[in-house]
Amino acid sequence: MSDKLELLKSNTVLFTIELTKKSLSDWVVEDIIALNQDFEDIPLLDAELNSNQDIKRIKDFLKNEIKPLDEAVYEACLEELKEIKEDLTWQTSEDGALVLKLEDWVQDSRTHLERKGWSHVLVGRSLLNPTQLNIINTMQNLPEASSIKVEIEKLKPPVKPHYFLDNI
């Protein structure tokens, strides 16, 4: 592969990653349950936290039930809640909403292109600019480059794609 192709691939997110944290980590929940087996039946510990009210409810539980039992577990939970709250704020921002929409589109388009037999077409967001969409053809001098572009346009990308289809 050419150096240009390798550079493009290394600067493009070509795998699925969790963009936002929405719940406490499994290890934290396990630490909480280890303090008291009765906590295993509390659905809030496994729930997605989608609002500040959800975060407040779990924070109150942690303050009342976990802090008296183990300060370190309580502090670890607070750190995770801080991250979840920051992610909630980010995902409702203009950039955050666009990146999430773009990531959903990327996942769907990858599936679509694979079904068409175009596994040599890489679709992903730029690492340097997460709102930039990169479409990369890994086959040299492939005559179907224009067909790839037409197919991508049919999928109605949320942003104008940056195409890297020929001579890379």
- Model confidence over 51-64: pLDDT tens digits? 999 999 999 999 99
Report the domain count for the chain: 2
Domain boundary among 65, 91, 117: 91
Q: Helix, strand or coil for residue 5?
A: helix
Domain that holds residue 128: 94-164
Q: 12 vs 20, 70, 91, CA distance in Å?
A: 19, 42, 21
Query: Long-range contacts: 115-121, Cβ < 8 Å, 24+?
Result: 116/151, 118/144, 118/148, 118/151, 121/148
Q: Tell me the per-residue pLDDT of 96-152, one tens digit each, with 9 for 90 and over.
A: 999 999 999 999 999 999 998 888 888 999 988 999 999 988 876 566 778 888 999
Token readout for 51 is: 């609002």
Residues 74 and 100 in one domain: no
Strand order of the sheet with strand 12-13?
A: 12-13, 121-126, 133-137, 161-164
Tell whether 103 is covered by a domain: yes
Residue 17 scores a pLDDT above 90: no
Residue 42 scores a pLDDT above 90: yes
Q: 88 vs 21, 52, 77, 133, CA distance in Å?
A: 8, 8, 16, 23
pTM: 0.76
Which of 17, 18, 24, 130 shows the shortest CA–CA distance to 84? 24
Tell whether 7 is covered by a domain: no
Domain boundary among 67, 91, 115: 91
Residues 86 and 71 in one domain: yes
Tell whether 126 is covered by a domain: yes
Domain boundary among 54, 69, 91: 91
Residues 99 and 77 in one domain: no
Q: What is the CA radius of gyration of the chain?
A: 22
